[in-house]
Amino acid sequence: MRIGELSRRSGVSVPTIKFYLREGLLPPGELTSPNQAEYADTHLRRLRLIRALIELAGLPVARVKEVLESLDAGDQALHHRIGAVHRALAPSWPPAESADARAEARVRELIEKRGWMIEPDAPAIGTLAETIAVLQSLGQDDLAADLDSYADAVERLAEREVAAVASRPDADRIAESVVVGTILGERLIAALRLLAQEHISARLLGSASGDSRTE
């Protein structure tokens, strides 16, 4: 297929596809003449992945490029690949590192208590510590107090997710699964959580008066 069809099938405009080609997000098509190229289904899938990363995950183009590069890297070990993808997906600004020290200690304590095997420089540690620190600075430590419940829930999910990814037969797409699963999984969980919250709040508080806390 040529660029026009790629555009129609992906819903991305031709100039934007050209832009992604220029930026190196999308590999060039195979040239059939000096100014004619052929694109394959892999281009279509990659393009959809790019759109998901930009639109749904809100990643800046430069970060998308890093993610895709780590995805195409020849590193064979699945575990390391997952680590690389996680690193590429991380927020990048090294977290404030100011008063987060206590929060970070708390995170490392949690990791140790659960016996989690985590590289000490995993970016999620900083993200988590920063989040906890902000929660505390806002006077809302309920959430952070219950870290264990969250860890329980998330550990169960991760078990299924990693198993599902590892069982994929097509080695080529494993890394892609990791990216998609991480990013879209996050969104899926977030949306489901909102729905669950609405349900529970309807059940616990929504019934008659509409205000259960007047006193």
Task: Give contact residues for DNA (rule: CB under 7 A).
Answer: 2-5, 13-16, 18-19, 21-22, 28-29, 31-39, 54, 59-62
Interface with its own copies includes 117 (CB under 8 A)?
A: yes
Closest separation in Å from C-beta 12 to DNA: 8
Q: Which residues, in sequence order, are CB contacts of 64 under 8 Å at separation 6+?
A: 25, 50, 53, 54
Closest separation in Å from C-beta 165 to DNA: 27
Query: Are the beta carbons of 107 and 125 closer than 8 angstroms?
Result: yes
Q: Which residues, in sequence order, are CB contacts of 97 under 8 Å at separation 6+?
A: 126
Q: How far apart are CA 181 and CA 57, in angstroms?
A: 11
Query: Are the beta carbons of 159 and 29 closer than 8 angstroms?
Result: no
Closest separation in Å from C-beta 130 to DNA: 17
Q: In the complex with DNA, which residue's Cβ is closer, 38 or 148?
A: 38
Strand pairing category for 36-38 and 30-33: antiparallel
Choose the contact partner of 161 out of DNA, its own copies, none; CB within 5 to 8 A by kind.
Answer: its own copies
Q: In the complex with its own copies, which residue's Cβ is closer, 13 or 212?
A: 212
Q: In the complex with DNA, which residue's Cβ is closer, 34 or 210?
A: 34
Choose the contact partner of 172 out of DNA, its own copies, none; CB within 5 to 8 A by kind.
Answer: none
Q: How far apart are CA 42 and CA 51, in angstroms?
A: 14
Q: In the complex with DNA, which residue's Cβ is closer, 52 or 174?
A: 52
Interface with its own copies includes 208 (CB under 8 A)?
A: no
Query: Are the beta carbons of 37 and 29 closer than 8 angstroms?
Result: yes
Structure tokens at 96: 């404030």
Site string for its own copies, 94-113 (x = CB under 8 A): -----------------x--
Interface with its own copies includes 62 (CB under 8 A)?
A: no
Query: Are the beta carbons of 128 and 102 closer than 8 angstroms?
Result: no
Query: Are the beta carbons of 179 and 85 closer than 8 angstroms?
Result: yes
Site string for its own copies, 148-187 (x = CB under 8 A): -xxx-xxxxxxxxxxxxxx----x-xx-xx--xxx-xxxx
Closest separation in Å from C-beta 187 to DNA: 17
